[in-house]
Amino acid sequence: MTLAEIASLVGGTLTGDPAHSVTGAEALLDASASDISFLADPRYVDQLAGTQAAAVLVGTDHPAPGPGDGPALLRVTDPSTAMTQAAAALASTARPPAVGVHPNAVVDPSATVAADVSVGPFCVVGPEAVLHAGVILHAGVIVGEGAQVGAGSELHPRVVLYPFVRIGEQCVLEAGVVLGSRGFGYDATPEGWQPVPQSGIVELGDRVDIGANCAVDCARIGATRMGDGVKLDNLVHVAHNVQIGDHSLVLGQVGIAGSAHLGKWVIVAGQVGINGHRTLGDGVQVGGGSRVFDDIPAGSEVFGVPAHEKKTAIRNLRVAPRLHEMRKHIRDLETRLAELEEQSR
């Protein structure tokens, strides 16, 4: 694309050669003479002098360039958003998979497969499974008996749907996702740990995105559910009977124990652990690395171990490096107080 075309795309003002072409988008220090880059954070302004980019997206208040052969500048209201637009326009896109069932796929005769579905090589579609219009199964996907995949959903390589899983419309499951594996439940007996039967299912609403290598367990009874618009990052574990409300975000390496309930628009940052049978109200935000041991009221912002009010938690963390010094000081004060009390007798 020419810089003039990019300027038109992002609604920017160009200082530079409008006919110059770029073929890619890169970070400032990684960019070559055929790339466009961006400066959204003033902390990185020094990198502008060292970039090889042909053009850089900057804010509207960025100062005029000095003399020299620096990169062309494209002034925009929001450089980060503009970079997303430009990168998407310049990105290479994979060819869409062919409609139809690949010769190496196995589809049970009792399965219902819409005419415009794409079933890739080495897929297995089980008895009574249902693939609605526009579904895409990439290579190696397994759809278990009675499972249902809603219209327009896309399952990337090696996704596994256990029997009777139900997926809504326009969902995206990245590679290695497993939905419906047996929930982790055991009873202690004289002979050892005996598994508790897990007879429930997993249900996803519409427009749910699940990142690579996530595991969502089937319910002990009923369903493990995610509402419309839920987004899971990579490597998230959702245990049996968990309920996640509409439009909630769960970031990487989070573990949610059995029967926990997350409301709508909840945000759970990376590496958080949530105890079983806890309830997080609508709009709750949990900071990274926290441990949730108690119910959290709607609208709360929490952090820490155990998770509690965020501002208090941060103040406590700032005090923590001085605890040893404070402990020594308190002991000194206790000694002096004891001496004064002895003298007053």
Query: What are 246-292's pLDDT values in tens digits?
Result: 999 999 999 999 999 999 999 999 999 999 999 999 999 999 999 99
Mean pLDDT of the chain, nearest integer: 95
| pLDDT value at 66 more than 80 | no
168's enclosing H/E stretch is none
Fill in the amino acid letter for 230.
V
Query: 90, 110, 143 — which closes off a domain?
Result: 90
Rg (CA), the chain: 28
Is the model more confident about 70 or about 121?
Answer: 121
**pLDDT over 70 percentage in the chain:** 99
Catalytic residue check, 324: no
Angle at 167 between CA 164 and CA 171, to 5 degrees: 155
At 271 the pLDDT is: 98
165 within some domain? no
Mean per-residue pLDDT, 38-66: 89
Considering the domain boundaries, does residue 162 fall inside one?
A: no
Has residue 256 been placed in a domain?
A: yes
For the residues 26-33, what does the mean pLDDT come to?
94
Q: Do 83 and 182 fall into the same domain?
A: no
Residue 105 CA to residue 122 CA, distance in Å, equals 5
76: domain CATH number?
Answer: 3.40.1390.10
Looking at 237, 240, 261, 308, which residue is catalytic? 240
CATH classification at residue 260: 2.160.10.10
Is residue 320 pLDDT above 90, yes or no? Answer: no
Judgement on whether residues 183 and 332 belong to the same structural domain of the protein: yes
- pLDDT, residue 221, reads 95
Residue 106: is its pLDDT beyond 70? yes
Q: Does the residue 344 lie in any domain?
A: yes
Percentage, residues of the chain above pLDDT 90: 90
Question: Do 271 and 253 contact (CB within 8 A), yes or no?
Answer: yes
Domain boundary among 90, 119, 134: 90
Domain assignment present for residue 296? The answer is: yes
Residue 309 lies in a domain: yes
Burial 74-87 (b: 16+ CB within 10 A, else e): bbbebbeebbebbe
Statement to judge: residues 217 and 342 lie in one domain: yes
How many independent structural domains does the chain possess?
2
Residue 69 has pLDDT above 70, yes or no: no
Q: Is 197 contained in some domain?
A: no
Pick the last residue of a domain from 57, 90, 123. 90
- Binned at pLDDT 50, 70 and 90, residue 239 comes out as very high
* Listed range (65-79, 108-122, 326-340) with the worst mean pLDDT: 65-79
For residue 148, being part of any structural domain is answered with no
**Confidence band of 93 (pLDDT split at 50, 70, 90):** confident
Confidence of residue 68 (pLDDT cuts 50, 70, 90): low
Q: Is pLDDT of 338 > 80?
A: yes
Compute the distance between CA of residue 34 and CA of residue 55 in angstroms, rounded to an integer. 9
Q: Are residues 78 and 183 in the same domain?
A: no
pTM of the model: 0.85
- Look up the domain containing 325 and give its range: 177-189+207-345
